[in-house]
Structure 1
């Protein structure tokens, strides 16, 4: 199987500030990549480049061997930590809206049978994420876990090939997080999605991912902390139980975080 995504010598700079440098990565379709690292080391910036919201300053991003589109598209979905749902729409309308936007570009505004079909597809997706009983509720009537299920349904309704998760479970209680882990693993196995997920919880990264990417700054300058950018310092094919490796990575990330904090 060929590469789905290729990252070749990618840098990201904002003026004189270097956020990311020398990123190199090849990902096959169906991999589940979890991403960890200290705050401010460019993890979300990397996701934004994969989404198409930003482009690299230098280097190349390839999707199926072609340059990554310079704007978000239906082939890439994203879920944020904060629930990105429309508060004035019902659960069903929130998910139907994504289909209406995509299909109306081709067909014009959806009416009649086309709109009915879109709502049926949205209802089926909501049933798949465990919200089939809540179609007519509004986001304010949902718990945090239910709102995040809704956000996942929004992202998946367009049938993306790549799903980007930016700390999607960081605001949830431990019990609800466990339920969401089970849901994401189920959807991943059933759909063949390629997933990139940022997490601050190393154990979560090992539990969910098939591959762990650690973003870190191997070069640090206390006098000019933005002189060097972060890169991928670990790229590990992982199983489900790697305690010794987890401790090693946790120590490295903690030490880097302490150095950056002291240099500010």
Structure 2
């Protein structure tokens, strides 16, 4: 399980402050939901955790060590626009993550390694309810099925951290409820730390163990880019979504919300 630490992190683009003064700890196996107005830096926060962006100031630590400068298999990601390959079958899409992780130069596995990856991918597809669709292509799947495929694709490498960027926003309400249940089950079973961006407050409190609100201070007319967004509310969701290794006690100094 993984602890994430932001230490006085700032992010600027061409002199414009996007995020400022981020100092927070994310506990192992937390499910953190990020909410706030559009354009307040939530996706930038995720991109820094993925190493697609680097802090302008401050540092990000994972288990006490600096965050790697490049994306790694320890960090999975699911976007709102399904990150699946249209020319590959469902099974091939899931195996691909294992192939990239196991063969960095060739991007392919062979022999016993390929058979093992295929078995793991098939087992994961069974977990997300896509066994019957394993030979289909993404275009043949519904939106909910494509999102389940994207989750399986991200989870095949057993990431320590899973990053979700509005992954369920385009789903119909009935399908979304099913995906929420699946997401909570996978989170509990895989013992990973999850950070999710969402504009849906009900989703944030349904899935999250902790909700962070990002807001930007009013900028002055003379210095329109002077202030970036920061965390203005930090709420523990109560009662907690218990797992065997979680005592259920609120973090020290955190406010609990029922």
TM-score for both structures, normalised by structure 1: 0.87
Preserved CA contact (<8 Å) 2:210 2:235: yes
Q: Following the alignment from structure 2 to structure 1, what is the Cα–Cα distance between the partners of residues 154 and 239?
A: 26
**Cα distance, 1:192 vs. partner?**
1.1
Other-structure match for 1:13: 12
Preserved CA contact (<8 Å) 1:207 1:240: no
Other-structure match for 1:197: 196
**Cα distance, 1:108 vs. partner?**
7.8
Other-structure match for 2:138: 139
Preserved CA contact (<8 Å) 1:79 1:164: yes
Q: Following the alignment from structure 1 to structure 2, what is the Cα–Cα distance between the partners of residues 172 and 225?
A: 36
Please give the per-residue CA displacement for 1:30-66, whole angstroms capped at 9, x wherever unaligned.
0010000000000000000001111100001001101
Other-structure match for 2:49: 50
Other-structure match for 2:85: 86
Other-structure match for 1:235: 234
1:164 is the counterpart of 2:163:
yes
1:69 is the counterpart of 2:75:
no
**Cα distance, 1:224 vs. partner?**
4.1
Other-structure match for 2:243: none
Preserved CA contact (<8 Å) 2:205 2:211: yes
**Cα distance, 1:104 vs. partner?**
1.3
**Cα distance, 1:105 vs. partner?**
3.0
**Cα distance, 1:132 vs. partner?**
1.2
Q: Following the alignment from structure 2 to structure 1, what is the Cα–Cα distance between the partners of residues 54 and 107?
A: 30
Which stretch shows the higher mean deviation, 111-120 or 229-238?
A: 111-120
Other-structure match for 1:259: none
Q: Aligned in 2, Cα 1:108/1:96: closer, same or farther, shift over 3 Å?
A: closer
Q: Following the alignment from structure 2 to structure 1, what is the Cα–Cα distance between the partners of residues 105 and 170?
A: 37
Query: Secondary structure of the equivalent of 1:41?
Result: coil
Q: Following the alignment from structure 1 to structure 2, what is the Cα–Cα distance between the partners of residues 108 and 142?
A: 25
Q: Following the alignment from structure 1 to structure 2, what is the Cα–Cα distance between the partners of residues 199 and 51?
A: 17
Preserved CA contact (<8 Å) 2:99 2:107: no
Please give the per-residue CA displacement for 1:138-160, whole angstroms capped at 9, x wherever unaligned.
00000000000000001000000
Other-structure match for 1:208: 207
Query: Secondary structure of the equivalent of 1:186?
Result: helix
**Cα distance, 1:203 vs. partner?**
1.1
Q: Following the alignment from structure 1 to structure 2, what is the Cα–Cα distance between the partners of residues 33 and 237?
A: 9
Other-structure match for 2:37: 38
TM-score for both structures, normalised by structure 2: 0.89
Please give the per-residue CA displacement for 1:110-152, whole angstroms capped at 9, x wherever unaligned.
2222211111111111111111111000000000000000000
Query: Secondary structure of the equivalent of 2:60?
Result: strand
Q: Following the alignment from structure 1 to structure 2, what is the Cα–Cα distance between the partners of residues 84 and 107?
A: 21
Other-structure match for 2:114: 115
Q: Aligned in 2, Cα 1:108/1:90: closer, same or farther, shift over 3 Å?
A: closer
Query: Secondary structure of the equivalent of 1:99?
Result: helix
Q: Structure 2: where are the runs of 5+ without partners? A: 241-255
Structure (1 or 2) with the greater helix fraction: 1
Please give the per-residue CA displacement for 1:141-192, whole angstroms capped at 9, x wherever unaligned.
0000000000000100000000000000010111111011100000011111
